[in-house]
A = this chain, B = another copy of it.
């Protein structure tokens, strides 16, 4: 096609190769700068030439190349989202909140699953940064030192959602896990002597620690003694909870605070399957209040977290940072609540 010597308009239109801002400029009889201006909504363009250019753009079906634009402007209008598992309803809800706000501010999100593993997290963060994302939303239940080190090497704005930075360097959006966990533990302490804490992997890590503290405070206030044997670590999945039911039951506990809804559903069903009556013989309170808490019978009592909002607010915060607005307060705490349903008395 390039060899075609019939240099007329038809030629240009038929041309199936990439059409650039330059083609539009030539066809419209203006400079590429002008085309760039109309494409970017710059006001300094005479109305008639704007029309003319717009016409040509439509006729040639021209689409600005965002990659080239990104290279020239050093902005990609893309943000990275590191997420443990998009198939987990808790994180999926956050992701939806993030994407909606991102869309509102003309950003796209590139999502990378990390499975909450250090190695993968570092990997995806680096490839995301290599892709020049304008910002990063990091979802996790925990923030390892390695990942913190990685974060400190970049000037790309980052916000944490659902995890807190112990050093308080990185802005984050959360609820107060300590207080929330304490409250529900207190609730359970009304009717129970042995209350289990079913937490994610690494209860001893930063974020689990917050919950652990709340749990322990509640025990202390209730005059109950803390026992390692009542603390369970698990991965975040339904089967994991199901499997755990046996052990929790064997521990002698008559109630449990669970930090992930899918795990809670698993625990509930596992217990019920083996003949345990919930809430009569065993009470459960879960943590995320995702829709699935209403799916079960009995339904699951839960700490009430504004899931969608956690995502939405963190993205909103990120837009401010990307816009170099000074943000007041590095740590945003969203209000939480408690929804009593069928799994607790």
Binding site for B on A (CB under 8 A): 16, 61, 63-68, 70-71, 76, 78, 85-89, 92-93, 95-96, 99-100, 103, 108-113, 126-132, 153, 155, 238, 262, 265, 269, 272, 291-292, 294-297
Are the C-beta atoms of A110 and B113 separated by less than 8 Å? no
Distance of A327 Cα from B59 Cα, bound (Å) = 33
- Tallying the copies of this chain within the complex gives 2
Given known pairs A111-B109, A295-B265, the reply for A67 and B70 (CB within 8 Å) is yes
Distance of A127 Cα from B88 Cα, bound (Å) = 27
Given known pairs A110-B109, A269-B295, A295-B295, the reply for A87 and B93 (CB within 8 Å) is yes
For the complex with contacts A61-B153, A109-B111, 4 further pairs of A-B residues with Cβ separation under 8 Å are: A67-B70, A68-B71, A71-B71, A88-B92
Distance of A332 Cα from B269 Cα, bound (Å) = 36
Selected from B70, B110, B112, B297, the residue in CB contact (under 8 A) with A297 is B297
Distance of A296 Cα from B293 Cα, bound (Å) = 10
Distance of A320 Cα from B136 Cα, bound (Å) = 30
Are the C-beta atoms of A86 and B96 separated by less than 8 Å? yes
Are the C-beta atoms of A110 and B112 separated by less than 8 Å? no
Are the C-beta atoms of B99 and A86 separated by less than 8 Å? yes
